[in-house]
């Protein structure tokens, strides 16, 4: 990887979540989640992207979610922001790809993190694990490994891709075990 000072690699991963049915979602909670998850990613990508343009090289990796690709009940604001992060990533890839900068996203299933443990009770966890072929949540280090790959020179020709880190979740339909 080139090293020229400033920002060579950006990983935009900040996110918050609150659960509620879409018709009952508090508009203030909706705004806050969009501000943090989508607008925050936009600002980080814009700032880092400008610095990368000056060098003619960079890697932008955003953290989306499988929730940005499907509609899961009770997570409307989160899902909308993660869908937006995926589109932001593709736009960055399209606009910066000829300038030595790649933009890709990772989209995990729930990851065993403190945030997920706060919003996923035993019922949520059982529902997810029943539909993930690997029958478990992702580990933080598995997501980190995918990010590390996308930041590497080995991924230099991968651009505009959303890499699902999902134990087969997006490949499956209803699992009859």
78 is catalytic: yes
Cα separation, 132 vs 109, in Å, equals 8
| pLDDT (0 to 100) of residue 2 | 45
In a domain, 100, yes or no: yes
In a domain, 172, yes or no: no
3-state DSSP assignment of residue 173: coil
In a domain, 89, yes or no: yes
| pLDDT (0 to 100) of residue 72 | 86
pLDDT tier at 7 (50, 70, 90 boundaries)?
A: low
pLDDT tier at 1 (50, 70, 90 boundaries)?
A: very low
- Ramachandran sector of residue 171 (left: φ over 0; alpha: ψ -120 to 50; beta: rest): alpha
User: Could you read off the pLDDT of 112-143 as tens digits, one per residue?
Assistant: 998 888 889 999 999 999 999 999 999 999 99
pTM: 0.92
In a domain, 57, yes or no: yes
Cα separation, 77 vs 96, in Å, equals 28
- Structural domain containing residue 97: 9-110+146-164
Helices (H), 6-156: 27-34, 40-55, 76-96, 114-119, 122-131, 140-151
Cβ neighbours of residue 158 under 8 Å, at least 6 residues apart?
A: 102, 104, 150
Catalytic residue among 57, 78, 128, 169: 78
The number of domains in the chain is 1
| pLDDT (0 to 100) of residue 6 | 61
Q: What is the CATH number of the domain that holds 44?
A: 3.40.50.720
User: Could you read off the pLDDT of 53-108 as tens digits, one per residue?
Assistant: 999 999 999 999 999 999 988 889 999 999 999 999 999 999 999 999 999 999 99
| pLDDT (0 to 100) of residue 115 | 83
In a domain, 23, yes or no: yes
In a domain, 171, yes or no: no
């Amino acid at each position: 990887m080139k090293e020229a000072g400033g920002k060579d690699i950006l990983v935009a991963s900040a996110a918050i979540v609150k659960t509620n049915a879409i018709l009952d979602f508090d508009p203030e909670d909706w705004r806050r989640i969009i501000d943090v998850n989508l607008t925050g990613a936009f600002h980080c990508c814009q700032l880092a992207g400008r610095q990368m343009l000056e060098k003619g090289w960079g890697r932008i990796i955003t953290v989306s979610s499988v929730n940005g690709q499907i509609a899961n009940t009770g997570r409307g604001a989160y899902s909308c922001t993660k869908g937006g992060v995926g589109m932001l990533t593709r736009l960055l890839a399209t606009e910066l790809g000829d300038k030595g900068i790649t933009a890709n996203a990772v989209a995990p299933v729930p990851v065993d993190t403190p945030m997920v443990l706060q919003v996923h009770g035993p019922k949520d966890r059982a529902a997810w694990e029943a539909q993930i072929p690997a029958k478990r949540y992702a580990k933080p280090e598995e997501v980190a490994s995918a990010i590390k790959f996308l930041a590497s020179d080995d991924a230099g020709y991968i651009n505009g891709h959303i890499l699902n880190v999902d134990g087969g979740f997006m490949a499956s339909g209803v699992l009859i075990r």
